[in-house]
Chain A
Amino acid sequence: MSPRCSGVVLALLVALAASPAAHAARKSDPDKLPSIKVQDLHYGEVLFQFYSGEEFQALTELEAFSQWQRMPHHAHDADLLAGGLYLELGMHNEAGVRFARLLTSDVPVGVRNRAWFYLAKIWYQRGYYDRAEDAISHIEGQLPEELEGELVNLLVNALMRQQRYDDAIAQLRGYHGSPVWMAYAGFNLGVALVRANRLAEADPILTRVGTLSSNSAELLNLRDKANLALGFAYLQADQASPARVALERVRLNGQYSSRALLGDGWARSSLGDYRGALTPWLELRKRSLLDPAVQESFLAVPFAYAKLNAGEQAAENYETALKSFADESDQLDGSIAHIHEGHMLDDLLGEDKDARYGWNWQLKALPDTPQSHFLYSILADNDFQAGLKNYRDMAFMAGTLRKWDDSMDAFAAMIDARKRAYAERLPKVEALLETNGLTRMRDARAGVGAQLDAVETGNDVAALGTPEERSQWAHIAQLEEQLQAMPPGLDREETRDKVRLLKGVLYWQLDAAFKGRSYQEQRALRDIDDSLEELQNRWVRLQQARGSVLANTEDFSGRIAALAERVRSTRERLSQASEQQNQYLEGVAESELQAQKQRLDAYALQARFALADIYDRAADDTNGNAKPAGAAAPAPEQAPAPEQAPSQTPATTVPGAK
């Protein structure tokens, strides 16, 4: 399928997992997907990466944020998205694990349905059609409209793969969906009826698909395919006239036109109109010999000439066919040799095969070299494309790891710098911690606090005086002492009065300021306490750091070393697996080329038969043993059933056909 589509599918997968309220309120702008109500910022970041087209980054963050438990509200969404991303990365096993996690009853039914749906897709892609059918049967109620059409298509295909055409027909009868899915359903129904040998019922259905009017390239292709299917169904039933009607509806410039031209020729010949058959066949013969239908036309043209009694032209055309087949076969040999030399992926991918091209890439065109143009047929092969994508995915991953390799050096250097800085600062830190500075300061603070308490309790107003006041207070105390020593008398009484007055004035002054001063002191103490607390915190951090920084850097060193080793060994494994994948792809390509060669050889053998036949008859003619004209080929009824001529039909081109 187209990468663009898978992106849309995944986007729906994400968007629809959200609460319905979130998108109910939105405008119906087709360019804007319904947004989801993100409850964890980190899940939003994963979506941002995903919507920006950075799927690998989205997956990485999804896994990392899950492990960090940063997305507690989006566990189900995360599993659904991870499953989808793993599926796109070709990792069905892991995708299956993620989807299977969502099948428990505590998961909302909408999420669970989608998980069953994607599991069904995985089983189908892996060829387990019965399991796909079983998974679909677990879906409760209706899927969102966007997925419903795809679901029916998936189920019908799973049934048809099991040759249960009647069940498929039952599913498709009465199906209603979007016009595109209706067209697919009609086509599937028609083919199922044909396979169930109910051609008469199939005709109107395939005719409806085969005559629908549309401008879409996709539907026009489907229309051609329906006409081709109907045409060949009639050819197989020996009804050439209705076959022609269907085949002539196939567009001449579409991808099915070669086969339609070939079939039209056969339909006309079976009606006896050999001249008419030459028209599509000669047209077809101008096209590229890579196309099996074109190869057949090289035999069909002389066959028609022979039927028209134009023996000479028939012989000439068989000779031309032999020459063309031989040339083509030689070129195939060259291509096979080229693959043996190990050049295939270089040719296919160019010089930049390990550069990043994004998540969903597909090889859509081939370089125009003689070696590679035979490989066009394998481009349509899903296995080959998937194998090529595996190869490219691994190259992309190797590139990612190579970039990490550079970062690892930077990380290691960073840790070294941290270790050096630690070693440099450690002696200073040790010295500081040894001074016991914090304890001493705390003791000092306690002393000051006790002093202030004593002053306040004792109402020692002088203790908080200015230095001048305290010196005056001390002086007065000294004077009072001296007074005691004085002999009693008038002088002593006079002096005592003066001292008392002085002391009273000073006390008044001190007492008046005491409250304010006490408050100031308390405030200063609080500031000291704040600083001490900050100091205490730093002191503790320093103590902790002295112990933990080393352990922490050692822990990082260990992690870095272990990861560096994992990067190294994983890169090595990637390179080995890439080489194996390369060999596998070469093998697939080579067997495809061998099959092409065998087919050409079989055609060549057939051309030689016919040619020999013509020459035999010509010889008989000259010997006078004339035979009826137009009998260059034995009559059909004398022919053995095709199954009895296996050498003419290399099994590889028609795997398992009946």
Chain B
Amino acid sequence: MQQQQRLEQGFGRSLALLVACTLCLAVARAEARAPADMLSRPAPDFALPAAAGSNVRLSEYLGQPVVLSFWSSRCGRCAAQLAALDRLYATYHSSGLVVFGVSVEDDPQRALDYAHAHQTSFPLLLDGAKSVSRAFEIGVLPTTVLIDRGGVVRYMHSDDRPNDPSYVAQIRALLDDRLIPP
């Protein structure tokens, strides 16, 4: 994974040049993949700035279950989704649950305004270039991605029912994974 990450981040350009041919196939395959194929795969790593606070790199949260919720100011149901996640976060934060809202907004100012208007106790991240939503193959909003302690995508939801018992059960299942890292 280290190597993989490093290739993807620091070395991206040179690798792209050198292995363009090789990767063409892989990229073509990735694009053709349905979002459901994200399941059971390692979540693509990313680093994004937050509307308030420090930058966030997903791979630094290996060992903790992570919920990503993709939102936009134009999405009517996203506010309710974020509010519901905020309640879940309040309940499970102390057990190690990590939640990030990821904006899918062209206009950074709009995203910031929205973030300030909808204060959450978890960080709202700004993905102006939409690279993260592309990497996670987000088609509809709101979409919520549940990642386990090992960094693998376990569940994806394109609805706004975070209070649904099955949804809570999934989060609890991720938390219930018994290995507690330092």
Contact = CB atoms under 8 A, between A and B. Distances in A.
In the complex, A touching B, CB below 8 Å?
yes
Interface string A1-45: 011100100000000000000000000000000000000000000
Nearest to A4: B182
B148 A352 contact: yes
Given A350-B176, A410-B19, A414-B19, A357 B63 contact: yes
Nearest to B152: A355
5 contacts: A365-B178, A367-B176, A400-B2, A407-B4, A414-B19
A56 B176 contact: no
A413 B182 CA distance: 40
Contact of B182 (A54, A60, A356, A361): A361
A367 B148 CA distance: 17
4 closest Cβ contacts across the A-B interface?
A355-B150, A3-B182, A413-B22, A57-B2
Interface string B147-180: 0111110000000000000000000000011111
B28 interface: no
B129 interface: no
B1 interface: yes
Nearest to A7: B182
Range for the number of chain B residues in contact with chain A: 20 to 34
Nearest to B57: A52
Contacts of B151: 355-356
A151 to B, nearest CB: 24
Contacts of A177: none
Contacts of A417: 21-22
B150 A357 contact: yes
A424 interface: no
A2 B148 contact: no
A403 interface: yes
A41 B60 CA distance: 24
A404 to B, nearest CB: 7
A366 interface: yes
Contacts of A360: 181-182
Contacts of A354: 150
B62 A358 contact: yes
A348 interface: yes
Given A355-B148, A355-B151, A355-B152, A54 B180 contact: no
A461 to B, nearest CB: 56
Nearest to A417: B21
Interface string A355-399: 111101111111100000000000000000000000010000001
A350 B1 contact: no
B3 A407 contact: yes
A351 B177 contact: yes
B18 interface: yes
B53 to A, nearest CB: 18
Given A349-B179, A357-B63, 14 more contacts: A348-B178, A351-B177, A352-B149, A352-B179, A354-B150, A355-B149, A358-B63, A358-B182, A361-B179, A361-B182, A362-B180, A392-B179, A407-B3, A414-B21
A349 B152 contact: no
Contact of A410 (B23, B62, B149, B179): B23
* Candidate in A349, A357, A362, A363 with the most chain B CB atoms within 10 angstroms: A357
Given A355-B150, A414-B18, A361 B181 contact: yes
Contacts of A361: 63, 179-182
A375 to B, nearest CB: 12
A352 B1 contact: no
Contacts of A348: 178
Contact of A2 (B23, B178, B182): B182
A47 to B, nearest CB: 16
B22 A414 contact: yes
A80 B4 CA distance: 28
A414 B25 CA distance: 12
Contacts of A358: 62-63, 181-182
Contacts of B63: 357-358, 361
Contact of B3 (A357, A364, A404): A404
A81 B21 CA distance: 40
A364 B2 contact: no
